[in-house]
Amino acid sequence: MSVRWPAWFFVKLPHQLALGWLALVVLAGLASPMLPLPYPPATPDLLHIAAPPAWSGPGPLHYLGTDPTGRDVLAELVFGARQLLLLSLPAAAAATLLGALAGGAAGFWGNRGLAISWAAVPATIAAAWWVAELPQRLTSALILLIISILLLASKYLSLRYSRRSGNATLFFPLDSLVLGSATLLSAVPRLVLVVALAAGPPLGTGGLLVLLLLVAWPDAARLVRAQMLRVRAQPFVEAARAVGLPAGRIWWRHALPHACRPLWAFAPLSVAGLIGLESTLAFLGIGLLPTTSSWGRLLGTLPQEPTAWWLVAGPGLALLFTLLALQRLAYWLSANQHSQLVLPK
Protein backbone atom coordinates (compact mmCIF):
# COMPACT_ATOMS: atom_id res chain seq x y z
CA MET A 1 0.00 0.00 0.00
CA SER A 2 1.76 3.13 -1.14
CA VAL A 3 -0.04 6.32 -0.45
CA ARG A 4 1.65 9.39 -1.83
CA TRP A 5 1.53 11.88 0.94
CA PRO A 6 2.15 15.46 -0.19
CA ALA A 7 5.63 16.79 0.41
CA TRP A 8 4.69 19.33 3.05
CA PHE A 9 3.27 16.60 5.24
CA PHE A 10 6.74 15.35 5.97
CA VAL A 11 7.75 18.66 7.39
CA LYS A 12 8.37 18.40 11.10
CA LEU A 13 6.17 20.11 13.67
CA PRO A 14 8.45 23.05 14.55
CA HIS A 15 8.78 23.91 10.89
CA GLN A 16 5.01 23.72 10.50
CA LEU A 17 4.50 26.05 13.42
CA ALA A 18 7.04 28.47 12.02
CA LEU A 19 5.43 28.51 8.61
CA GLY A 20 2.00 28.83 10.18
CA TRP A 21 2.98 31.85 12.24
CA LEU A 22 4.62 33.59 9.30
CA ALA A 23 1.54 32.91 7.18
CA LEU A 24 -0.61 34.43 9.95
CA VAL A 25 1.53 37.56 10.04
CA VAL A 26 1.44 37.92 6.27
CA LEU A 27 -2.34 37.45 6.16
CA ALA A 28 -2.89 39.93 8.99
CA GLY A 29 -0.70 42.43 7.23
CA LEU A 30 -2.38 42.07 3.88
CA ALA A 31 -5.95 41.98 5.16
CA SER A 32 -5.66 44.55 7.95
CA PRO A 33 -7.93 47.24 6.48
CA MET A 34 -10.70 44.70 6.05
CA LEU A 35 -10.54 42.97 9.43
CA PRO A 36 -13.39 43.74 11.87
CA LEU A 37 -11.33 45.27 14.66
CA PRO A 38 -13.15 46.89 17.61
CA TYR A 39 -11.07 50.08 17.37
CA PRO A 40 -9.30 51.72 14.43
CA PRO A 41 -5.54 52.31 14.67
CA ALA A 42 -3.93 55.67 15.50
CA THR A 43 -7.07 56.88 17.26
CA PRO A 44 -6.77 57.77 20.93
CA ASP A 45 -9.50 56.55 23.23
CA LEU A 46 -9.35 59.31 25.81
CA LEU A 47 -11.28 57.40 28.45
CA HIS A 48 -8.89 54.47 28.42
CA ILE A 49 -5.37 55.82 28.30
CA ALA A 50 -2.80 53.15 29.20
CA ALA A 51 -5.60 50.80 30.20
CA PRO A 52 -4.82 47.14 30.93
CA PRO A 53 -6.37 44.40 28.78
CA ALA A 54 -10.10 43.96 29.37
CA TRP A 55 -11.98 40.84 28.39
CA SER A 56 -15.43 41.54 29.80
CA GLY A 57 -17.49 44.69 30.01
CA PRO A 58 -19.78 46.93 28.03
CA GLY A 59 -19.11 48.28 24.58
CA PRO A 60 -16.15 47.49 22.32
CA LEU A 61 -13.28 46.23 24.46
CA HIS A 62 -9.57 46.74 24.37
CA TYR A 63 -8.60 43.09 24.32
CA LEU A 64 -4.90 43.80 24.59
CA GLY A 65 -5.01 47.13 26.40
CA THR A 66 -4.07 50.61 25.20
CA ASP A 67 -0.83 52.54 24.99
CA PRO A 68 -0.04 55.82 26.83
CA THR A 69 -1.57 57.85 23.99
CA GLY A 70 -4.80 55.84 24.06
CA ARG A 71 -4.29 53.76 20.90
CA ASP A 72 -5.65 50.22 20.95
CA VAL A 73 -2.83 47.65 21.12
CA LEU A 74 -4.63 45.00 19.06
CA ALA A 75 -5.23 47.41 16.18
CA GLU A 76 -1.64 48.60 16.39
CA LEU A 77 -0.39 45.01 16.26
CA VAL A 78 -2.46 44.13 13.21
CA PHE A 79 -1.54 47.29 11.31
CA GLY A 80 2.00 46.95 12.55
CA ALA A 81 2.15 43.59 10.77
CA ARG A 82 1.31 45.50 7.63
CA GLN A 83 4.14 47.92 8.34
CA LEU A 84 6.40 44.95 8.90
CA LEU A 85 5.48 43.50 5.54
CA LEU A 86 5.85 46.78 3.76
CA LEU A 87 8.92 48.05 5.52
CA SER A 88 11.04 45.98 7.87
CA LEU A 89 11.10 42.71 5.97
CA PRO A 90 11.82 44.26 2.58
CA ALA A 91 14.41 46.55 4.16
CA ALA A 92 16.14 43.63 5.87
CA ALA A 93 16.02 41.54 2.72
CA ALA A 94 17.31 44.37 0.56
CA ALA A 95 20.03 45.28 3.05
CA THR A 96 21.18 41.66 3.28
CA LEU A 97 21.17 41.33 -0.50
CA LEU A 98 23.03 44.58 -1.03
CA GLY A 99 25.48 43.74 1.74
CA ALA A 100 26.11 40.27 0.36
CA LEU A 101 26.77 41.54 -3.17
CA ALA A 102 28.96 44.41 -2.07
CA GLY A 103 30.87 42.44 0.54
CA GLY A 104 31.27 39.44 -1.74
CA ALA A 105 32.62 41.59 -4.56
CA ALA A 106 34.95 43.49 -2.22
CA GLY A 107 36.30 40.27 -0.72
CA PHE A 108 36.74 38.49 -4.04
CA TRP A 109 38.38 41.17 -6.12
CA GLY A 110 40.03 43.22 -3.41
CA ASN A 111 41.81 46.34 -4.52
CA ARG A 112 43.79 44.85 -7.35
CA GLY A 113 41.29 42.61 -9.00
CA LEU A 114 39.25 44.84 -11.27
CA ALA A 115 41.03 46.66 -14.04
CA ILE A 116 39.48 49.61 -15.81
CA SER A 117 40.89 51.63 -18.60
CA TRP A 118 42.36 55.07 -18.17
CA ALA A 119 39.63 56.53 -20.29
CA ALA A 120 37.18 56.22 -17.44
CA VAL A 121 38.96 58.91 -15.43
CA PRO A 122 38.36 61.93 -17.68
CA ALA A 123 34.86 60.67 -18.41
CA THR A 124 33.90 60.65 -14.72
CA ILE A 125 35.48 64.05 -14.18
CA ALA A 126 33.42 65.39 -17.07
CA ALA A 127 30.24 63.96 -15.61
CA ALA A 128 31.00 65.37 -12.17
CA TRP A 129 31.83 68.78 -13.62
CA TRP A 130 28.56 68.86 -15.49
CA VAL A 131 26.45 67.82 -12.52
CA ALA A 132 28.11 70.19 -10.07
CA GLU A 133 27.74 73.04 -12.54
CA LEU A 134 31.26 74.28 -12.09
CA PRO A 135 32.21 77.26 -14.27
CA GLN A 136 32.52 76.71 -18.01
CA ARG A 137 30.94 73.35 -17.76
CA LEU A 138 30.10 72.93 -21.41
CA THR A 139 33.59 73.53 -22.74
CA SER A 140 35.36 71.56 -20.01
CA ALA A 141 33.01 68.61 -20.36
CA LEU A 142 33.59 68.54 -24.10
CA ILE A 143 37.37 68.73 -23.71
CA LEU A 144 37.40 65.92 -21.14
CA LEU A 145 35.16 63.72 -23.27
CA ILE A 146 37.48 64.22 -26.24
CA ILE A 147 40.47 63.22 -24.06
CA SER A 148 38.72 60.04 -22.96
CA ILE A 149 37.81 59.12 -26.54
CA LEU A 150 41.43 59.66 -27.58
CA LEU A 151 42.63 57.40 -24.75
CA LEU A 152 40.18 54.68 -25.76
CA ALA A 153 41.28 54.98 -29.37
CA SER A 154 44.96 54.80 -28.48
CA LYS A 155 44.41 51.71 -26.35
CA TYR A 156 42.48 50.02 -29.14
CA LEU A 157 45.16 50.87 -31.68
CA SER A 158 47.99 49.68 -29.46
CA LEU A 159 46.20 46.43 -28.80
CA ARG A 160 45.56 45.87 -32.46
CA TYR A 161 48.80 46.92 -34.01
CA SER A 162 51.50 46.24 -31.47
CA ARG A 163 52.66 43.03 -29.90
CA ARG A 164 52.82 44.35 -26.37
CA SER A 165 49.61 44.29 -24.41
CA GLY A 166 48.67 47.51 -22.73
CA ASN A 167 50.26 47.33 -19.33
CA ALA A 168 49.23 50.73 -18.10
CA THR A 169 45.96 49.80 -16.50
CA LEU A 170 44.14 51.36 -13.65
CA PHE A 171 42.99 49.14 -10.82
CA PHE A 172 39.60 50.02 -9.44
CA PRO A 173 39.91 50.00 -5.62
CA LEU A 174 36.71 48.10 -5.00
CA ASP A 175 37.60 46.83 -1.55
CA SER A 176 38.52 50.25 -0.23
CA LEU A 177 35.38 51.74 -1.73
CA VAL A 178 33.03 49.18 -0.25
CA LEU A 179 34.80 49.06 3.07
CA GLY A 180 35.08 52.82 3.16
CA SER A 181 31.42 53.47 2.52
CA ALA A 182 30.42 50.71 4.93
CA THR A 183 32.65 52.27 7.54
CA LEU A 184 31.34 55.75 6.88
CA LEU A 185 27.79 54.62 7.35
CA SER A 186 28.49 52.60 10.44
CA ALA A 187 30.95 55.01 12.01
CA VAL A 188 28.51 57.86 12.11
CA PRO A 189 26.67 57.47 15.38
CA ARG A 190 23.04 56.77 14.70
CA LEU A 191 22.02 59.65 16.90
CA VAL A 192 23.77 62.17 14.71
CA LEU A 193 22.26 60.64 11.61
CA VAL A 194 18.85 60.69 13.17
CA VAL A 195 19.11 64.27 14.44
CA ALA A 196 20.30 65.39 11.03
CA LEU A 197 17.22 63.75 9.59
CA ALA A 198 14.96 65.12 12.28
CA ALA A 199 15.67 68.63 11.09
CA GLY A 200 13.83 67.77 7.94
CA PRO A 201 10.27 66.57 7.49
CA PRO A 202 9.26 63.28 9.14
CA LEU A 203 10.04 60.23 7.07
CA GLY A 204 7.42 58.50 5.03
CA THR A 205 7.61 54.79 4.32
CA GLY A 206 9.94 55.27 1.36
CA GLY A 207 12.34 57.46 3.27
CA LEU A 208 12.39 55.12 6.21
CA LEU A 209 13.11 52.19 3.89
CA VAL A 210 16.13 53.96 2.45
CA LEU A 211 17.31 54.89 5.95
CA LEU A 212 17.02 51.33 7.25
CA LEU A 213 18.76 50.01 4.14
CA LEU A 214 21.66 52.42 4.62
CA VAL A 215 21.99 51.54 8.28
CA ALA A 216 21.80 47.75 7.94
CA TRP A 217 23.85 46.85 4.87
CA PRO A 218 27.37 47.39 6.36
CA ASP A 219 27.06 44.55 8.86
CA ALA A 220 26.04 41.99 6.24
CA ALA A 221 28.76 43.28 3.91
CA ARG A 222 31.49 42.84 6.51
CA LEU A 223 30.37 39.32 7.39
CA VAL A 224 30.27 38.21 3.77
CA ARG A 225 33.56 39.92 2.98
CA ALA A 226 35.30 38.15 5.84
CA GLN A 227 33.92 34.80 4.76
CA MET A 228 34.81 35.52 1.14
CA LEU A 229 38.44 36.12 2.13
CA ARG A 230 38.45 32.56 3.40
CA VAL A 231 36.58 31.07 0.47
CA ARG A 232 38.85 32.83 -2.03
CA ALA A 233 41.75 30.77 -0.76
CA GLN A 234 39.96 27.43 -1.13
CA PRO A 235 41.25 24.92 -3.67
CA PHE A 236 38.02 24.73 -5.65
CA VAL A 237 38.26 28.40 -6.57
CA GLU A 238 41.80 27.84 -7.82
CA ALA A 239 40.60 24.88 -9.76
CA ALA A 240 37.83 26.91 -11.38
CA ARG A 241 40.34 29.57 -12.37
CA ALA A 242 42.64 26.96 -13.79
CA VAL A 243 39.82 25.56 -15.91
CA GLY A 244 39.45 29.00 -17.45
CA LEU A 245 36.10 30.16 -16.17
CA PRO A 246 35.68 33.94 -16.27
CA ALA A 247 36.08 35.69 -12.93
CA GLY A 248 32.49 36.89 -12.83
CA ARG A 249 31.13 33.40 -13.23
CA ILE A 250 33.39 31.99 -10.54
CA TRP A 251 32.24 34.73 -8.23
CA TRP A 252 28.53 34.39 -8.85
CA ARG A 253 28.07 30.64 -9.12
CA HIS A 254 30.83 29.21 -6.97
CA ALA A 255 32.32 31.57 -4.43
CA LEU A 256 29.35 33.70 -3.43
CA PRO A 257 27.01 30.89 -2.30
CA HIS A 258 29.73 29.64 0.07
CA ALA A 259 30.51 33.10 1.34
CA CYS A 260 26.87 33.77 2.13
CA ARG A 261 26.63 30.93 4.62
CA PRO A 262 26.90 33.08 7.80
CA LEU A 263 24.01 35.17 6.50
CA TRP A 264 21.48 32.44 7.26
CA ALA A 265 21.99 32.99 10.96
CA PHE A 266 22.45 36.71 10.55
CA ALA A 267 19.38 37.59 8.51
CA PRO A 268 16.72 37.02 11.21
CA LEU A 269 18.86 39.00 13.62
CA SER A 270 18.98 41.86 11.18
CA VAL A 271 15.18 41.98 11.11
CA ALA A 272 15.25 42.21 14.88
CA GLY A 273 17.90 44.90 14.63
CA LEU A 274 15.80 46.97 12.27
CA ILE A 275 12.73 46.74 14.44
CA GLY A 276 14.93 47.65 17.39
CA LEU A 277 16.14 50.70 15.50
CA GLU A 278 12.55 51.69 14.82
CA SER A 279 11.72 51.43 18.50
CA THR A 280 14.84 53.36 19.50
CA LEU A 281 13.82 56.08 17.07
CA ALA A 282 10.42 56.10 18.75
CA PHE A 283 12.15 56.23 22.15
CA LEU A 284 14.14 59.26 21.03
CA GLY A 285 10.98 60.75 19.60
CA ILE A 286 12.11 61.06 16.01
CA GLY A 287 11.38 59.33 12.77
CA LEU A 288 8.03 57.75 12.20
CA LEU A 289 4.87 59.69 11.65
CA PRO A 290 2.59 59.26 14.63
CA THR A 291 -0.12 57.89 12.38
CA THR A 292 1.89 54.84 11.25
CA SER A 293 1.43 51.78 13.40
CA SER A 294 4.49 49.74 14.11
CA TRP A 295 5.56 47.13 16.64
CA GLY A 296 8.73 49.04 17.27
CA ARG A 297 6.83 52.17 18.16
CA LEU A 298 4.57 50.32 20.57
CA LEU A 299 7.62 49.00 22.34
CA GLY A 300 9.03 52.51 22.30
CA THR A 301 6.13 53.88 24.35
CA LEU A 302 7.11 51.71 27.31
CA PRO A 303 9.25 54.35 29.10
CA GLN A 304 6.20 56.62 29.36
CA GLU A 305 4.37 54.01 31.39
CA PRO A 306 6.90 51.51 32.77
CA THR A 307 4.40 49.27 34.59
CA ALA A 308 2.30 48.64 31.49
CA TRP A 309 3.37 45.04 30.90
CA TRP A 310 0.86 44.65 28.07
CA LEU A 311 2.91 47.07 25.97
CA VAL A 312 5.80 44.63 26.06
CA ALA A 313 3.78 41.41 26.04
CA GLY A 314 1.87 42.11 22.84
CA PRO A 315 4.53 43.35 20.43
CA GLY A 316 7.33 41.53 22.28
CA LEU A 317 5.71 38.13 21.89
CA ALA A 318 4.72 38.85 18.30
CA LEU A 319 8.28 39.85 17.54
CA LEU A 320 9.68 36.84 19.37
CA PHE A 321 7.50 34.41 17.46
CA THR A 322 8.34 36.07 14.16
CA LEU A 323 12.04 35.87 14.89
CA LEU A 324 11.86 32.27 16.00
CA ALA A 325 9.87 31.43 12.91
CA LEU A 326 12.39 33.15 10.67
CA GLN A 327 15.23 31.40 12.45
CA ARG A 328 13.56 28.02 12.09
CA LEU A 329 12.98 28.76 8.42
CA ALA A 330 16.59 29.79 7.98
CA TYR A 331 17.79 26.66 9.72
CA TRP A 332 15.59 24.46 7.56
CA LEU A 333 16.68 26.13 4.36
CA SER A 334 20.34 26.02 5.30
CA ALA A 335 20.08 22.35 6.25
CA ASN A 336 18.55 21.63 2.85
CA GLN A 337 21.15 23.70 1.08
CA HIS A 338 23.97 22.12 2.98
CA SER A 339 23.08 18.69 1.73
CA GLN A 340 23.38 20.05 -1.78
CA LEU A 341 26.68 21.74 -1.09
CA VAL A 342 28.47 18.54 -0.11
CA LEU A 343 29.21 17.79 -3.76
CA PRO A 344 31.43 20.39 -5.44
CA LYS A 345 30.12 21.97 -8.60
Partner 1 sequence: MRYLWLGNYLLALLLSACTPPANRQVGDPIRIRWARDPETLDPLAQPNQNTVEAINLLHAGLLQLNFQTSEYAPALAEALPTVQLLGDSLTQLDYHLRAAATWDDGRPVLATDVDFTLKLLNCPGLPNEGVRSQFSFIQQLQLDPTDPRHFKLMCRGQAPEYPWVSGDFPILSEASLDSTHSLRQFSLASLQRAAQTTPALLALAKHYQALSQGYYPNRLPGCGPYRLADWQPNHSLTFERKATWWADQLRPAPLVLQAHPKIIKYIILPDDGAAVLALRRHELDVYPSMQARDFQRLKASPLAQRELAFYSSPSYDLLYAGFNTQCPALRDKLTRQALGCLFDPAGLLAGTQLGQGQRTVGLLPPSSPFYNDSLPLPTYAPAQAVQLLRQAGWQFVAGGWRRSPAQRLALSVRYRTNEETFETVALQFRAAAAKLGIPVELRPTEATTLNHTLHAGDFDVFVRILKGSPLGFNFEPVLHSRAVQEGNFGGFSSPTTDHLLEAIVTASTAARKRQLLRKFQVQLREESPLLPLFFMPYRLAADRHLSHLLPSGLKPGYSAAAIISSGSLPAAARK
Partner 2 sequence: MSFWWVFARLGRALLAAWGIASAIFLTVHLLPAAPDEFTLGDPSELGSAVSLRTSASRQAARQALRHRLGLDEPVFYLTRTAGRPVRWQWHGRHNQYHHWLSLLLRGNLGYSYRTGQPVAALLGPALAYSIPLMVLAAALATGLAIWLALGLANASGALTGWQAVARTLLTGIQALPLFSLSLALLLLLANPDLLNLLPADGMSTDYPPLGGVAWLASYGAHLVLPLLSLVLAVLPELTLPLEATLRQELRADYASTARSKGLTSWQVAYRHALPNALLPLLTSFTGLLPTMVAGTVVVEVLFALPGTGRLLAEAAATHDYPLVIASVLLTSIARMLALLLADVLYFWTDPRLRPSL
Choice between 69 and 234, CB closer to partner 1: 69
Mark 185-214 with x for binding to partner 2 (rule: CB under 8 A) and - for no binding: -xxxx-xx-xxx--x---------------
Question: Cα separation of 247 and 228, whole Å?
Answer: 14
Binding flag, residue 97, partner 1 (CB under 8 A): no
Beta carbon of residue 85, minimum distance to partner 1 (angstroms, whole number): 23
Region of 67 please: left (phi>0), alpha (psi -120 to 50) or beta.
beta
- Please choose which of partner 1, partner 2, none residue 222 contacts, taking the beta carbon within 5 to 8 angstroms, the exact cut-off set by kind: partner 2
Q: Which residues on neighbouring strands pair with residue 170, listed in sequence order?
A: 116
Q: Name every residue whose Cβ is closer than 8 Å to that of residue 9 and which is 6 or more positions away in sequence.
A: none
Neighbouring CB atoms inside 10 A of 183's CB total 13
Question: Cα separation of 180 and 111, whole Å?
Answer: 12
Choice between 145 and 284, CB closer to partner 1: 284
Neighbouring CB atoms inside 10 A of 91's CB total 25
Beta carbon of residue 307, minimum distance to partner 1 (angstroms, whole number): 7
Q: How many residues does the chain have?
A: 345
For helices 73-83 and 309-341, give the axis angle rounded to 10 degrees. Answer: 30
Applying CB under 8 A, which residues contact partner 1? 42-44, 46-47, 49-50, 68-71, 195, 198-199, 201-202, 284-286, 289-291, 303-307
Applying CB under 8 A, which residues contact partner 2? 14, 110-112, 132-135, 175, 179-180, 183-184, 186-189, 191-192, 194-196, 199, 219, 222-223, 226-227, 229-230, 233, 261-262, 264-266, 268-269, 272, 275-276, 279-280, 283-284, 296, 299-300, 302-303, 306-307, 312, 316, 319-320, 323-324, 327, 331, 338
